[in-house]
Structure 1
């Protein structure tokens, strides 16, 4: 082994003095650019998944409980507040919060505009920590007063379409059908206390936040009736375990859904991004491997005289192959160091300055998000080195086909 390393070091020192020096530079750049692209792709896909998932979690929670129903309607059916269930959930270390809600379809009217909306009523237990970061104007009203709060929160898209600002007032109209079949109209005039923007247009264009007590009165519910529960886990990796626990504990007449079941379309789209990420990684690995295989073949062919001399002096094929594999590992490691520096620098620049901008209506974010996971980067480096060296065993086998007599005769 000492002999192999000694020869490999001598060869590496002389690499810039021959034609192979240019080939080695190209090989390093190929490794560096391939790894940099893999790092950026992984960071951006992770950023997309985490940012968009967080928006959905903030709006819907991690686990949703509602009353079982065969009807398709935006209006929730009433269910009683279950104190025993709330006490059970409060004692679970994996559950961060439980909030009640109720939804009701209505129309938002100003002097000049009319728009259909869904009012989501929330109570004093509203988990505002997950929603507050999406506020772009005003503030969240307090829902813990003795009387129903006279405020509501609109999305930015609704406010812009209806030309409303914080402090303005608008009227919410609701139409219900009574037992005799007659339609009754009720309304609530509320002040706009805040404006939010999640970037999820299918939600932003419909939902208005208000006090749940308005919906209770409009639906003639009791003070202890709600439309459902939204449960927040302490960490996203606990969502499915919490869902399974809640499903076992829940009343048999309740419908328990994880957020992945509640809104499958967006999560399916996010999972497709993982496939794109894998395709990019595979393509970049193929590019790096082709360059390294070509470079190693050139290095071997350029050193045929040295190979013949070493074999004539008694070196076996394994030792000679090891010399070139050590040289290849040196090229790969240097390329990875450069690639890590380029990839991480690009990620940090995007985090700091938001260089890449996106249409929010198509991608749910206005700036391409980046999430750097150093564990993933280490795995990418290990995989790149291991796969490259494994594939380089094939061209290095050319050493065994070079006979010392022939190589020395034509040198």
Structure 2
């Protein structure tokens, strides 16, 4: 029979325990652990969620990896055409982890209305385009449908629709400058079939999605010529390795670039979230541990006479320390329970009710995204429990310094 556990249960269940002097301190310790867990859960869920959301938005517009001709002109307009007759197209089988490849081309143009104008890129796509990401962004209308024939259907951003007062079903003209600036610009008429909002305003105000056939004709390219290729992979964590393998597997006249390289400043910014998360976790566990140490010392002080009696009856120091560690484990578990209940409740409320909006100009998203995964929840709880318990081993050493004779006289 584990008598330490038996006595700990009796102590916890006694009325005197709940109404003792140490009760408020114990409640503060439990509250500290609960608040710590809430803060840590929110920090991890929102930090990882924001990273993934921003990353997915950038991937939606560029793919994980882009393939294009080497070009000293850094602008999208400086694209040099590439033939689609490549070994890696339409299936990139040379590198494991590549799930899809699609041909694209960009062309800068100007939309002009009676009262305003807007300059942006038409991203030309074709039948091979993966609409997975834009299905999530679509807020009105439908996605365009492209085939071998020319199509005037386009998908525009909500930013552009609001700025130029457009809605689904409207037509507009777009002007494209020719290389010979002395000649009048080419004019294309487009029909809006859908409106999207990625929340990534930097990209929403830059692109509309149209038919690649128009880009080829405006640039006077052949039907098998495109501006570049976009690749998607199955595991973002392998982006660097797969990007290097893709580079080695493409011809020497082609360059590859990962989405993290293309938007280096944004990805460096979101990588700082990891340091913030680790910092918050460390601080919260330290605060919770200190509060539990205080609670344990008060418990030991309050039960000094009981410690003296147990020592007089033959209990060794480690047995009595185990008794108090069992007691502390119960308090830690109680704090973890309430922390998880409230923390996960807030996270699920944010996930489904969108309670806390964010400024897309600063955070690239319209509301605080959350990432909920059982593995990090379990890891966080187990780690917090073990670390708090380890921190309590030191103050429990005080028990070894208590004399049985003096302890039984202790008032």
TM-score range, shorter chain: over 0.9
Q: How many residue pairs end up in the alignment?
A: 408
Q: SS at the partner of 1:230?
A: strand
Q: Distance in 1 between the 2:204 and 2:345 partners?
A: 34
**1:185 equivalent in alignment to 2:188:** no
Q: Which moved more, 1:401-410 or 1:325-334?
A: 401-410
Q: SS at the partner of 1:131?
A: helix
Q: Distance in 2 between the 1:88 and 1:125 partners?
A: 11
When the two chains are superposed, the root-mean-square deviation of aligned CA atoms in Å is 1.9
Q: Distance in 2 between the 1:322 and 1:162 partners?
A: 71
Indicate if the aligned counterparts of 1:90 and 1:97 stay in contact, CA closer than 8 A: no
- Deviations along 1:65-103, one digit per CA (max 9) or x if unpaired, are 111111222211111113421155158663332111111
1:396 is displaced (CA, Å) by 0.8
Indicate if the aligned counterparts of 2:91 and 2:100 stay in contact, CA closer than 8 A: no
- Residue matched to 1:66: 68
- Residue matched to 2:392: 392
1:240 is displaced (CA, Å) by 3.7
- Residue matched to 1:315: 315
Task: State which of 142, 146, 149 in structure 1 corresponds to 2:145.
Answer: 142
Indicate if the aligned counterparts of 2:111 and 2:172 stay in contact, CA closer than 8 A: yes
Task: State which of 92, 96, 101 in structure 2 corresponds to 1:98.
Answer: 101
1:6 is displaced (CA, Å) by 2.6
1:144 is displaced (CA, Å) by 0.4
1:314 is displaced (CA, Å) by 2.3
Task: State which of 33, 36, 49 in structure 2 corresponds to 1:34.
Answer: 36
Q: Distance in 1 between the 2:312 and 2:250 partners?
A: 80
State how 1:122-133 maps to structure 2 within 5 Å: 122-133=125-136
Task: State which of 109, 112, 118 in structure 2 corresponds to 1:109.
Answer: 112
Indicate if the aligned counterparts of 1:137 and 1:194 stay in contact, CA closer than 8 A: yes
1:182 is displaced (CA, Å) by 4.6
**1:51 equivalent in alignment to 2:53:** yes
- Deviations along 1:30-87, one digit per CA (max 9) or x if unpaired, are 2112112211221111221222222222221111111111122221111111342115
Q: SS at the partner of 2:305?
A: helix
- Residue matched to 1:284: 284
Indicate if the aligned counterparts of 2:95 and 2:242 stay in contact, CA closer than 8 A: no
In structure 1, runs of 5+ residues without a counterpart are: none
Indicate if the aligned counterparts of 2:88 and 2:94 stay in contact, CA closer than 8 A: no
- Residue matched to 1:372: 372
- Residue matched to 1:170: 172
Q: Distance in 2 between the 1:324 and 1:159 partners?
A: 66
Q: SS at the partner of 2:111?
A: strand
- Residue matched to 1:211: 211
Q: 1:176 to 1:265 in 2, by over 3 A?
A: same
- Deviations along 1:182-212, one digit per CA (max 9) or x if unpaired, are 5552221222222211111111112121111
TM-score (norm 2): 0.94
- Residue matched to 2:363: 363
